[in-house]
């Protein structure tokens, strides 16, 4: 069930209150944008995809029954947009050794900061190699406040299945980063 504030906000949006929808956008824009930016392969299209999410929210509000929380429903829309974006793209194979932050180019005795920077860069490249659904799970779960239960409800997955998939995603990352983590 929705909290009272969420219920009032949805009702005001349904009545065509533009200020209420603007309030909804301000409340969720960072969350939506962060998940999209971390999930989409092409970072430049993140804003377009985030706009598409809110457009679908605006069109779908008259049909939103309020059985789930508003945030759960929004996560579901974000997941659908990410999956559809991925289906429209050709698969990209990227080596972890691309670009200037190649580990082999790092000088011997590189500082800890440089090593961390290289590792974070390779983590991002490893994440980009995950399937879209794994990328979405990794992006959504590590944002503050997005619990397993909310994600499971949004993606229509049993809680156990969601955790298993997330662990598999991290196992793939561990294997992709095996050399760096030793």
Partner 1 sequence: MFCDEVLELVEALAAGDLTPDPRVMTHVQSCAGCAAALAAARRVDGLLKQRTAPSAPPQFTTRIMGRIRRDRWRRDQFLDLGFNLTVGVVLLFVLTGFWILLSQSGLGGISHDAANILGSAVSDLMHRATPSLPLYLAASAIVATALGVWWWAEKDA
Interface residues with partner 1 (CB under 8 A) are: 18, 21-22, 25-26, 29-30, 32-34, 37-38, 46-47, 50-51, 54-55, 58-59, 119-120, 123, 138, 142-144, 163, 166-168, 170-171, 173-174, 177-178, 181-182
By C-beta, is 31 or 154 nearer to partner 1? 31
By C-beta, is 105 or 181 nearer to partner 1? 181
Query: Cβ 15 to partner 1, closest distance in Å?
Result: 14
Query: Cβ 120 to partner 1, closest distance in Å?
Result: 7
* CA–CA dist 46, 73 (Å, integer): 20
Query: Cβ 58 to partner 1, closest distance in Å?
Result: 5
The dihedral formed by the CA atoms of 165, 170, 172 and 174, expressed in degrees to the nearest 10: -160
- The closest alpha carbon to 58, from 7, 10, 2, belongs to 10
By C-beta, is 82 or 138 nearer to partner 1? 138
Orientation of helix 159-176 relative to helix 132-141, angle to 10°: 100
* CA–CA dist 170, 172 (Å, integer): 5
By C-beta, is 61 or 106 nearer to partner 1? 61
CA dist 124 to 5, 59, 108, 128, 134, Å?
37, 34, 23, 6, 13
Rounded to a whole number of angstroms, the distance between the first and last alpha carbons of the chain is: 47
Burial class (CB in 10 A: 0-12, 13-18, 19+), 65: exposed
By C-beta, is 67 or 120 nearer to partner 1? 120
Query: Cβ 141 to partner 1, closest distance in Å?
Result: 8
Query: Cβ 50 to partner 1, closest distance in Å?
Result: 7
């Amino acid at each position: 069930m929705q909290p009272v504030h969420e219920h009032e906000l949805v009702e005001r949006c349904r009545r065509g209150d533009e200020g209420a929808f603007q309030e909804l956008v301000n409340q969720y824009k960072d969350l939506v944008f962060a998940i999209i930016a971390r999930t989409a392969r092409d970072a430049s299209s993140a804003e377009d995809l985030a706009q598409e999410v809110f457009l679908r929210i605006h069109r779908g509000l008259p049909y939103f029954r309020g059985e789930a929380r508003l945030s759960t429903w929004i996560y579901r829309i974000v997941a659908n947009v990410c999956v559809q974006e991925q289906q429209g793209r050709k698969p990209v194979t990227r080596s972890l050794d691309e670009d200037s932050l190649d580990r082999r180019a790092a000088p011997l005795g590189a500082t800890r900061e440089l090593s961390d920077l290289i590792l974070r860069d390779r983590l991002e490249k490893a994440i980009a190699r995950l399937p879209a659904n794994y990328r979405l799970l990794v992006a959504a779960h590590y944002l503050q406040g997005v619990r397993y239960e909310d994600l499971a409800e949004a993606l229509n997955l049993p809680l156990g299945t969601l955790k298993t998939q997330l662990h598999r995603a991290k196992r793939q990352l561990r294997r992709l980063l095996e050399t760096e983590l030793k």
